[in-house]
Structure formats: C-alpha cells, structure tokens
Structure 1
Amino acid sequence: MRWEKAETIRPGQRVGRFTVLAELASGGMGRVYLARSPGGRTVALKTLITDSADDRRRFAREVECARRVHGVYTASVVDADPGAAVPWMAQEYVPAPSLRDLVEACGVLDSDALHWVAAGMAEALASLHTAGLVHRDIKPSNVLLPVEGPRLIDFGISQAHDLTRTQSALGTVAYASPEQARGEPTAEASDVFSLGATLFYLAAGRPPYADIEQLSAIELLMRAASGRTDVSGLDPELHGLIHPCLEPNPGMRPTPAELVSYCAGHLGTGPAGRAGGGVLDARWTAAIERHRAERTDALRAAILHLGEDGPAASASAEAGREERTRPAPSPPPTARLTGPARTGVLGRVRRPRVLAGVSAVVAALVALLVFRPWEDAGSTGRAGTPDLPVRILEVESEQPGVCPDGEATSADGFATPRPAVPSGRGFTSDDRKLCVVVSTAPGMTVNRFRNVTAFEDTEAGGQGGWSVRVEFGDRDAEAFAELTGRVAGRSGDSDSLAVVQGDDRLLVKVRIIGSITGGEAVIATRLGRNQAAFLASALGAE
C-alpha cells in the first residue's frame, strides 16, 4: 500500500488545528515548521515527507515514544496525528541553540556549568527511562540549551526495550556506546555512555577519541566498538562525572539518578538553585539570549507577514485532493535538451525559432532528490522569492547517503562507513540518498529569480518528463555565466554545481558541460511531475 507524499506546506496553511508560520528545519524523513494553535500557542510542527509504510511506522513510533516522556528537560508533545495522510506531530517550541552550536561558537564549559547541564540531561534520561524507552541518539546536536536548562529532543530512533533492534546500530558513532557500535541490544546504560561522550565534548571540544579528524569511518567504528576512548586533557575535577559514564562495561556505568545526585552534590544548592543560566559562562548566556531574540523577532515577522485575519488553506490530503492532482497545463518550453539520456551528459539546447538568439543551455541533470506534489496545479511558474536564498556552489565530491554530522559516520546505521565531511560543506538530499561536498570557492547566491517555470517536455524527440527552467536577473546572469564557465570541463565530480538552501539541504546537482550565457538555464530535466513542482516551488515559483 502507498500513500500520497507530503505536500508543500506554505505559511498560512493548516496542519490539523495548527497554522504554519515558517519552515524551521529539514531532515531526511521530515520537515519541521514553526506553527501556531488557534489559541496562539507556538509549536514546532514535524511532518513526514516520505511515503513508505516503513517510514510511517517509524514516525508513529516516534510519536508514541515522545508522548510517553514527561519531564521538564524534554520537549513535550502538544498534539499529533501519525495516521493522517500527511503524518504530523506538534511539540513544545524551544527557541534555543544546540550544545554543538554553542561549543562551536563560544568554546567549552567550565566545571560548574558542565555539572549543571549534566544534571538536566540526566533528569531527561531518567524521564525517558521511566517511560520504558531508550533514546539511542544522545549527542550535542540533539540537546537544546535555553537558560532554564537543557532540553533533550529527537526521539526518531527511540524504542521501547522490547523493540530494540539487534541487526543494526543506529546513532552517531562518535557518541555511541560500544555495545551500540557492535550492533548489540541497547539499554539505559547505552544512553549514559552517550551522555558521558557528550559531556566530554562540552569539556574538551571534541568527542572522546584521539585524532578523530584523521580517523577513517571504519577506524572510528572499531575504536567505538571496543570502547577505546581517549579522555586525555580532561580537567581532573570532571573525572568523577565523566569517566564512570564512559565505562566499556554497561553494568559499571552510573544510573541517571546517581548522576543527578552527584551533580547536585557538586553544585551544593542543587541544579534547581542554578536555574536561569546564572551558572553559565557569559558568552554562552549571551549566545542563548541572542538566539532567543532572533527567533522571537522571526516569529513576530512571520505572524505579521501572514496576517492575523487571513484565511488559512488546509494542508490535509483530504481537502481539495482533486484540484491538486489535476494535471498541470504544459507551458510552451523555451528550451529542449537533446542527447543520450543514460550517460548524464546532455547535448546542446535546440531552441524554438522565436528565441533563436538566446544562448544555449547546457546544464545536465544528474540527480533531483526532493519529492513534493504540485501545490497549485494551474501555475506555470512566475517570478518569486525563495523561502530561503538559493546558493549555487561548486561540487568537490559526493557520496551516498546522509552527510555526516561533522563527524565520520556511515551510510546506513554503521554498515557502510564513509569519510567525514568538512563542517559547513556537506549538503544532503531530502530523500537521504546523496551527500554532496562543496568546495571552498564562493559560488553565488540568488535571492530572487526573474522567472521560474516547471513544464512538461512533450516535443517529439525531446527528453520527456518534466523540466525546470530558471531565468536570472542581469547581475546574477553574469555571475552564473562566469561560474559555469569555470566549472565546465573539469574531471570527476568537480564538473558539477550544487543548488542548495540553508545549511545542509541539497535541491539538485547538475553537471555543466559548457558556459551558460543569456540568463536562462534548464537546470533539471526528465523529472516526475511532483519532483519538478517542488523544485520550482523551492526556487520561488508562485
């Protein structure tokens, strides 16, 4: 059985009883939106963007797990409908940076602050374990830190004890317990090890393994599986907290309750007495408050942009299904790509006579990896501003699967080790099948296209399927011509460009075989209708 893929959700649309304000983040299985209830409560709304039965089951399990957890140090579930045509879950919105973001921006924590954070994380684990769950992916990026105390998030691979898988280990290698790295059953003690690894990162600025930046993925996996950590350089005052958590033997690790008690003893007045961020370094407090202020301003702007009284369109699959799935009219194409379809190298563009003077477009689609249905079937694509600026960057290399989160990891669980990706240079497709690493060259940024069109190629001898064409403004057209001329003719993956949004989202990768002048380019061909529709929408088609 198959379900419809998740819809493109725009500000003003409704999911359940919540009105979407803006997109917050994108991941392999879902997107997270900022949304608001009829009563004005702000939530983080997660939707499933894939359509397989397995993914729907995983999402339903995530909802069940998150609903079972109750604690001040976890993000609570407000409402959810995992059985909807587009499954969704609304959680408490926490406008705070992650521990990873804070360490990268502000440096490591001192002893008192680290014990305070550790106590909050241990209390979160106690809540989770009391509910009969194991998180299985504790790491710095999965812990948010408002000044009130840490919040543990992302229960995507949490499982009840009787559902723990033995065939594969999940999570991030650098923070995984030895038994998890070996693919063995995971229990509460596995989360404690990951907590200890995260605390070491807060204290030292690196995971607890020597020379991790030089390690291959398989070497890191072997060290993690054998428990060969390296905690050199750790402040002796932190030994009593972190060393026991990193014991290779799960039975020797402390429980979350024991950790809370230990931290309370160190802090004297206990974690509750240090609420409000008073124990944090001034740099951390300033960064947290700045992040909160930025998110608050963005929330106000989203509400003002949406308008208090504007009607919200339904985002449910049941409402208006016929209209959204009606075939879109095919605009007359201004370019047609010819050439061998399977090689990934397309020939020169054969233009209609009325546009014979326009330069040839020679970009060839290598992979379009986002999937969403047509939002407005009657649209032919017009000038518009993307939700986020679109960057076009030179490709250095590519690899299958999700880009590692700043560390060496693997394509699926731990089965296929892959090299680390330099921070800020990895972009992953929405279907999790491709990671593109971009070069350090500046590339170009497009804040607005002059025109974006999705059209069906129905010409005799054409490529067939759907295509997406963009038209640049004059200044961007010059930059694009220079960029394509620089990339064309290179060897390997470096003859390609990545079209990206945000910090890690790959929209499309295209191969360039010649300089593209004239301000127009067909950047994707031979797509499904839904694929072309979403790419056009992401690029700003209105």
Structure 2
Amino acid sequence: MRWGGAETVRPGQRVGRFTVLAELASGGMGRVYLARSPAGRTVALKTLITNNADDRRRFAREVACAQRVRGVYTASVVDADPTAQVPWMAQEYVPAPSLKELVEDCGTLGPDALHWVAAGMAEALASLHSAGLVHRDIKPSNVLLPVEGPRVIDFGISQAHDLTRTQSALGTVAYASPEQARGEPTTEASDVFSLGATLYYLAVGRPPYLDIEEISALELLMRAATGETDVSGLPSVLDALVLPCLDLNPRARPTPAELIAHCAGHLGDGPAARSDGSVLDARWTAAIERHRAERTDALRDALRQVGTTGPTARSGRTEADEPTQAMAEPAGTAHLPGPPATAASGRSRRVRLTVSGLAAAGMLAGTLLVLSPWDGSGDGGGTGAAGAPDRPVRFLEVEREQPGACPGSGTSEAATFATSQPGVPSGRGFTSDDRQQCVIASTAPGMTVTRFRQVSAFEDTEDGGPGGWSVRVAFESKDAKAFTALTAKVTGRVAPTDSLAIVQGEDRLLAKVTVIGRITGGEAVIATRLGRNEAHFLANVLGAPS
C-alpha cells in the first residue's frame, strides 16, 4: 500500500490494529475514518496526512493532550501512535449530531434543556482543566449530543498551560474569548467564555455578535478582541447562566464547578438525574435518534462491504512503502465524527473543514481591496489549479494606508487626495482597483512569487467562517519558507504594520491582509467574503485557469 499525496485509506485496509470501514471527514492535514478493532470496538480513527515537522509536532501534542483527558463528557482516546510514519489516533466513536447541526435543523433550546447541556459541557471542561489543559476551541460544532449528554471533541489546538503561547489568536473567532482574539495567553476562563458564547447560540440561534452575517472577518475579530458582544434576545431566565460567562474580565467568570452547581440548582434533581435526555425538546430527541439510526445503518453497510473484500493491507508503525507526502489540499482540522462520505458528500465536507485549519496554523484575516467590474461566469463550484499569475505577485510589508487612490496614480481621485494626504514615496504606493484604498509599502524587500503551487476559489460554509467566497493560495516549497518568515516578521505589530500588501506591477493592490500569527504549511487565504465572480476573477489573476 502506498501512503502519500492525496490518497485515502481504502475500506478493509488496516492502520495499527484497526480495520478501516469508511471515511468520516477530511481536511488538508488529516482524515478521520470509521474503524473497528479486532475485538469489535468501533472507533473514529484520525490520521495525519501531511509530512512536515510542524504538523507532526502539532499532531503529537494533540494526542498527548487527548490522552490526558478522562471524563464521561469527552471522547476518550482508545489507542494512538503519533510516532508512526503516518501518525494516527483512535478515539471513542460517538454517533451523534453536533450542537450546530441540531440548532440548524431543530431550532433553539429551552431553559431546562440548555441548563442540562451546560452542566455536561462544564463537567467536560472540569475534566480538561484538571488535566492541566485548555481546550481553546469550544464551539457548537465541537460538541456532539447523544441522548446521554454532550461530548466535547477535537483537541487539535488544545495546549497545556506551560505551552500556551501569546500572539496566537486560535479557535473560531465567533466563540473566542476577548483575550484569545487579542493573542494573549489563554486560561481556563477563556474556555468558560467560549462555553457562554456556545450557550447563547443554543438559546438564540446566533453567536453573541450583531450583524455577524454582514461583517468581515477582520471586523468580527476586532469586536471579539474588544468584547463588543450583543446579547439581545437572550431569555431573562438564562441571564444568570450565560452572561457571567461572557464577562470581559476573565477573573469574574464562573468556574466550571460553579456552573455545574448553578445548573443543578436550576434542574432540581441535578443534571445527573436527567442523563436520559428527557429534558430535550422532542424535535431534538428525534433528530438525535435519527442520526444514531443512520450511523448504525451506515456502520452495518460498511461492515458488509469490508466483510466481502476482507483486509487488503496493513499499516503498523507504519508498514508503508513511501513516506507520507504533503497534500495539495488546504490545511484543515478534521472534525469527529461526520457522515460516511459519498463522492459528492466528501467534496462538500472538505470545503466545510478547510477554513478552521487556519486557526491551527496561525490565523490570517483578510479584507479584499480589489473590486474591479466582475464579469466571470463561474459555475458555482470552487476552482483550483496550479498556475503562473499574468504578472509576478509581490507580498510586501505595510507601512501605512490612507483612503482613496494613491497620489500620482494618474486619476482625478488621486489628484483630489494628493492635496490632503501625506506624500507617497515613488514605487511604494499601491491602489485598489475600486480606487478606495491606498497602501504604502515599507522599504523591506518582501517576497515575489512567479508561480503558485495551487490557487483556488471556494465557497466558505464553515461554522464561524466569514461566509461568501474566499481565495486560497498554496506556495511552492521555496516560497513557503519565505512566506512563513514574512508572516512571523509582521505578527504582533501595531496596525496597519501587522499587514501584508499583495500587489502586482508598479501600483496595483490586489489585497491587504492582517496577519495574526506565523503561518506555516505553505498556504493562506488571502481574501474573504467575496461574490462568486469576484473570487473567480482574483483566482484567475493569480494563475488559476479560466
């Protein structure tokens, strides 16, 4: 069996002691499979399919973190080998929908049910924190809900206290604590804020920010960093549970133990006495049971298929013919669990999983500044291919910015602003195609790209993502190293010098992106919240075929 590139493990093949039954979810950095042990235990098997040192260290840390957690409200680790040629981890398989799926399909939760879910999530946090861990990515899609109670999953960006870094705004911004959004050290209290934001979502149907569908990713990040929440619509009976969790002061937030006690007081008999899900709305219970039945049927089908073909190959520590190669797909974090992928659903799942992986690599929030008249006729699907831009593309450090076209760019708008704006040194001013933004680059050399390994336009449907269409680029290996160094250089600076200008020619600004953390892996989303044609246009400019 050959491991590497974008190849998957086929049903019937073995990883460690587990026989793979079907693929559950896929991202650029890893895949998750439904698998079974020789004794018949069903697990969710996560494999790492990139082959760079940073990803291997991150995966090993995830395994170590997950192995330290013991609690009824988390998905436990069954077995793992992070040192294998293809690292893997087997976790308890929980055939249940996420809180995000349930809200989208069934509507919001009532007060009793919400207190019951809150108690289970708080107990999961207590288990994590007692193990010396901070989850750092609590959100509705990372909490599964079987009728027995919630399960917190995905420790991909969890860190031990002594490993917590500054200047890293990881996690999904819509549920991140203010200190996390600012890149400050995260603590147990940061998880409590994210718990509160998740509970607000369950009660109201949206994250605790106003107009989240319309604002840009950068605007959302700024609101999160300043704690500019909007908690209108929260039923008053939930104020005492939710609002203290969202306190701007981490020290003022309740502990998980205090939340458990509060929920027990509300529920009377206590959360443990409601372990059959009886407090849930009938719509939620029906959806959970339907999900379980569908997963059970899928498991039976997968077992029949594997029983027909039998095991075809094995990977131990691993028995691979070749080392795993880095994929051309975007870096992402695979979520546990998901539906067995058909040819169509697998493609959809990959699109949904890609954006969250930016958090694991260091977040890059972008605002598009190229707004030419668009007349592309995209077919509604993502586009992506390797190619050379029509002209070399430069990534330059930003010194300052000002509204309107840059002085000297030969337009009447530029002439108007020339008298009221500071002068722009020759060769350092770049104007957006809509003439609304002038960015002045610093004298630092930056980097020049003559060819990308891949350019893709994709529709962003990930939970907490900015929405609309986005454009991603993947660099050739030599440029990837330069890009990592460049993003590390600007990280932590005062705005707008914490940004990169993406330019062509002498004065054309394609995009300006704010860098919030060192980007590794050789990929970056450089524009978000576009229309379909806008995204296709920009991708074509950067080298994707028309």
TM-score computed with the length of structure 2 as normaliser: 0.64
Inter-CA distance 158–403: structure 2 relative to 1 (3 Å threshold): closer
Q: Which residue does the alignment assign to 1:36?
A: 36
Corresponding position of 1:67: 67
Query: Is the alpha carbon distance of 1:296 and 1:387 closer, same or farther for their aligned partners in structure 2, counting shifts above 3 Å?
Result: closer
Which letter does structure 2 place at the counterpart of 1:81?
D
Choose the corresponding residue for 2:458, options 408, 412, 436.
436
Residue 212 of structure 1, CA deviation: 1.1
Secondary structure of the equivalent of 1:113?
Answer: helix
Alpha-carbon separation, structure 1, partners of 2:346 and 2:58: 34
**1:170 is matched with which residue?**
170
How much has 1:27 moved relative to structure 2?
2.0
Show CA shifts across 1:191-250 (max 9, x none). Answer: 000000000000000000111111111211111111111101110000000000000000
Classify 1:213/1:24 alpha carbon distance in 2 versus 1 (closer, same or farther; 3 Å): same
Distance 1:242-1:169 versus aligned 2 partners, 3 A rule? same
**CA–CA separation in structure 2 for the residues paired with 1:404 and 1:18:** 27
- 2:230 paired residue number: 230
How far, CA to CA, are the matches of 2:158 and 2:287 in structure 1?
30
Distance 2:10 2:383 in 1: 22
Unpaired runs of at least 5, structure 1: 326-366, 372-385, 394-398, 420-424, 440-489, 499-508, 513-542
Show the counterpart of 1:388.
342
Residue equivalent to 1:369:
329
Cα 1:226/1:7, change in 2 over 3 Å: same
Cα pair distance change 1:198/1:289, threshold 3 Å: same
Amino acid at match of 1:116: W
Structure 1 segments (4+ residues) deviating >6 Å = 425-433, 495-498
Compared CA separation, residues 432 and 171, structure 1 to 2 (3 A): farther
Who is 2:365 aligned against?
416
Letter in 1 for 2:296: T
Q: Kindly state the Cα deviation for residue 413 of structure 1 after the two structures are TM-superposed.
A: 3.7
Q: 1:42 to 1:427 in 2, by over 3 A?
A: farther
Aligned-partner residue type, residue 46 of structure 2 = K
| Unpaired runs of at least 5, structure 2 | 332-339, 369-379, 386-452, 462-531
Contact 2:169/2:359, CA 8 A, preserved across alignment:
no
Equivalent in the alignment of 2:123:
123
- Whether the aligned pair in 1 keeps the contact of 2:26 and 2:346 (CA below 8 Å) is no
Equivalent residue, structure 2, for 1:200: 200
1:246-265: CA deviation from partner (whole Å, max 9, x where unpaired): 00000000000000000000
Q: How does 1:57-456 map to 2 (within 5 A)?
A: 57-307=57-307, 310-316=310-316, 318-319=318-319, 321=321, 369=329, 388-390=342-344, 402-403=354-355, 413-417=362-366, 434=456, 436-437=458-459
Say if 1:14 and 1:315, in contact at 8 Å, map to a contact too.
Answer: yes
Greater relative contact order, per chain length (Cα 8 Å cut-off, separation 6+): 2
* Contact 2:455/2:544 (8 A) holds in 1: no
CA distance in 2, matches of 1:392, 1:194: 29
How many equivalent residue pairs?
380
User: CA contact under 8 A between 1:403 and 1:435: conserved in structure 2?
Assistant: no
Q: CA deviation at 1:437?
A: 2.0
Task: Measure the CA separation in 2 of the matches of 1:155 and 1:148.
Answer: 21
| Preserved contact between residue 115 and residue 263 of structure 2 (Cα < 8 Å) | yes
Q: Distance in 2 between matches of 1:177 and 1:44?
A: 29
Q: What is the match of residue 410 of structure 2?
A: none
Describe the SS at the equivalent of 2:213.
helix
Q: 1:307, 1:68 → 2: CA distance?
A: 35
Identical-residue share of aligned pairs (%): 69
Alignment correspondent of 1:17: 17
Tell me which amino acid in the other structure corresponds to 2:96.
A
**CA distance in 2 between partners of 1:227 and 1:170 (Å):** 16
Distance 1:497 1:305, change over 3 A: farther
In the TM superposition, residue 309 of structure 1 has moved relative to its aligned partner by 7.9
- Change in Cα spacing, 1:307 to 1:161, as seen in structure 2 (3 Å) is same
Asked if the contact 1:106–1:284 (Cα under 8 Å) also holds between the matched residues in 2, the reply is: yes
Paired AA for residue 437 in structure 1: E
Matches of 2:264 and 2:75, distance apart in 1: 23
Q: Helix, strand or coil: the match of 2:165?
A: coil
SS state at 2:314 partner: coil
Matched-pair contact (CA < 8 Å) for 1:169–1:183: yes
Query: What is the Cα deviation at residue 20 of structure 1?
Result: 0.1
Q: Residue 58 and residue 391 in structure 1: after superposition, are their counterparts in 2 closer, same or farther (change >3 A)? A: closer
| Offset from partner CA, 1:129-187 (integer Å, 9 cap, x none) | 00000000000000000000000000000000000010211001110000000000000
Amino acid at match of 1:57: R
CA contact (8 A) 1:403 1:428 kept: no
Partner AA of 1:299 in structure 2? L
Q: How does 1:390-539 map to 2 (within 5 A)?
A: 390=344, 402-403=354-355, 413-417=362-366, 434=456, 436-437=458-459, 493-494=535-536, 511-512=545-546
**Distance of 1:110 and 1:92 partners within structure 2:** 29
Return the alpha-carbon distance in structure 2 between the equivalents of residues 8 and 41 of structure 1: 22
| Paired residue type of 2:129 | H
Q: Secondary structure at the match of 1:276?
A: coil
Tell me the SS of whatever aligns to 1:61.
Answer: helix
1:214 match: secondary structure: coil
Cα drift, residue 120 of structure 1 = 0.1
- Report the AA paired with residue 416 of structure 1: A
Contact 2:384 2:544 in 1 (8 A): no
C-alpha displacement at 1:100, in angstroms? Answer: 0.3
CA contact (8 A) 1:402 1:435 kept: no
Contact kept in structure 1, 2:23 and 2:33, CA below 8 Å: yes
* Contact map agreement 1:403 1:426 (CA 8 A) in 2: no
**Secondary structure, counterpart of 1:186 in structure 2:** coil
Q: Deviations over 1:277-327 (max 9, x none)?
A: 1000000000000000000000000000111782341134753627x99xx
**TM-score with structure 1 length normalisation?**
0.64
Please tell me whether the aligned partners of residues 9 and 315 of structure 1 are also in contact (alpha carbons under 8 angstroms). Answer: no
Given that 1:392 and 1:497 are in contact with CA atoms closer than 8 Å, whether structure 2 keeps it comes out as no
**Matched letter for residue 403 of structure 1:** V
Q: CA deviation at 1:368?
A: 5.8
For 2:365 and 2:55, the matched residues in 1 are separated by 21
Q: Which residue identity lines up with residue 201 of structure 1 in the other structure?
A: Y
